[in-house]
Amino acid sequence: MTKKTKEAIKTSAVIVLVIAAVLALWIYPLNQSGKIASRPDEPAKAYNPADFGLISDSLSLDTEDNIQISGHFGHAVLDSAASAKGTVFLLHGLFSDGSSQLAKAATLTADGFNVIVYDQRAYGQSGGEYRSGGYFESNDLQSIIARLYLEDRLVRPVIIWGEDHGGSAALRIWREENRIDYVVAENPVVTGRDWQKRVVAHDELSAPEFMLGLVWWWLKQKSGYEISAEESDISDHYGWAMLNKEGRFLTMACGSANTPNNEYIRELKDFGGNWLVVECADSSLFENNRDEVYTAVMNLLVKDTGLTEE
């Protein structure tokens, strides 16, 4: 083998190693980041609340960043002289859409509550290509509350019952939105890292933890949305709720011996507050513990529903 040939082989080997390094450390992580932050691959499906016995109107609005949110306003089942007990917003989790909330909605409307169910951004029938783990979803929630308030359809008390990033969205916006009276956070997303790891595990992505920070960079480049690691953390919002709304929120989580399975939620529990920890898979807390969960939520609500504007 000539010296020239050896040099050519060495050069080729270096090029191959460089390409492999670029693929491993940049292109592949960016691809995985896109899968984490983008709309799920499942095709959007229409669903009919009437199949669950709900009497409802369709609900549609455009957010501040021009994303259309689609959902339904379920009417309370009432005697002719009665009025609704309140308004419950049911926010679905990371791996579902509004249809997953219809069983809860049917129970609540039968019990005299008006119920709002909608597909969060980048899910189901709603628009948007990117999700944020609760950050921008909180703005969407506030827009819907404001819309219903202006239409005089917001019966107090207003209860937000959110799963995963839905629970996170409620806790984030509560400080600014005084029309929210109670929050039920079901397995809430605690930080951006928590959100990323949940999606990685559920979607069986090969995304080592060291590269998950790229998700925020990717999201900004693709959508223009910028979220810092600090902004993705709900700890401050949770602490605010402890100080200002101590008796008006309930956090529920899957776990055992009163200890949540999720490491981030375990840290959140150290703040205190009202908790219900039950044995379940993260996606089946209500389904597997309906009576216990519903009782805990109803016990949270005060008997006197004549709440005034703060």
Q: What is the pLDDT, as a whole number, of residue 90?
A: 98
Q: What is the pLDDT, as a whole number, of residue 7?
A: 59
Which is more confident, 121 or 303?
A: 121
Question: Has domain 47-190+234-300 been given CATH number 3.40.50.1820?
Answer: yes
List C-alpha distances in Å: 62 to 29, 66, 136, 201, 224: 32, 5, 13, 32, 18
Say how far apart CA 105 and CA 93 lie, in whole Å: 15
Q: Quick one: tokens of 237? A: 């919002």
Q: For 64-95, write each residue's pLDDT tens digit.
A: 899 999 999 999 999 877 899 999 999 999 99
**DSSP code for 200:** H
Question: Is residue 48 packed enough to be buried (19+ CB in 10 Å), middle (13-18) or exposed (0-12)?
Answer: exposed
- The C-alpha angle with vertex 296 and arms to 294 and 299, in degrees rounded to 5, equals 110
Per-domain boundaries in the chain: 1-37+193-225, 47-190+234-300
pLDDT, averaged across the chain: 87
pTM, two decimals, is 0.88
Q: Quick one: tokens of 12? A: 């080729």
Q: Quick one: tokens of 159? A: 């209860």
Q: What is the pLDDT, as a whole number, of residue 227?
A: 80
Looking at the predicted structure, is the pLDDT value of residue 16 above 80?
Answer: no
Q: For 107-131, write each residue's pLDDT tens digit.
A: 999 999 999 999 999 999 999 999 9
Share of the chain above pLDDT 90, in %: 63
- Plot region of 72 (φ>0 → left; ψ -120 to 50 → alpha; else → beta): beta
5-9, 48-52, 213-217: segment of lowest average pLDDT: 5-9
Say how far apart CA 174 and CA 237 lie, in whole Å: 8
Q: What is the pLDDT, as a whole number, of residue 171?
A: 96
Share of the chain above pLDDT 70, in %: 86
DSSP letter string over 261-297? SSHHHHHHHTT--EEEEESS-GGGHHHHSHHHHHHHH
Residue 197: CB atoms within 10 A of its CB come to: 18
Which residue is associated with the tokens 């960043």? Answer: 65
Q: What is the pLDDT, as a whole number, of residue 25?
A: 47
Residue at 136: amino acid letter:
F
Which is more confident, 10 or 275?
A: 275
161 bridge partner residues: 90, 184
β-pairing verdict for 56-62 and 68-74: antiparallel
Say how far apart CA 89 and CA 110 lie, in whole Å: 15
Looking at the predicted structure, is the pLDDT value of residue 43 above 90?
Answer: no
Residue 3: CB atoms within 10 A of its CB come to: 7
Helix axes 214-223, 192-202, angle to 10 degrees: 90
Residue at 84: amino acid letter:
A
Residue at 251: amino acid letter:
T
Q: What is the pLDDT, as a whole number, of residue 250?
A: 97
Q: Quick one: tokens of 142? A: 């506030």
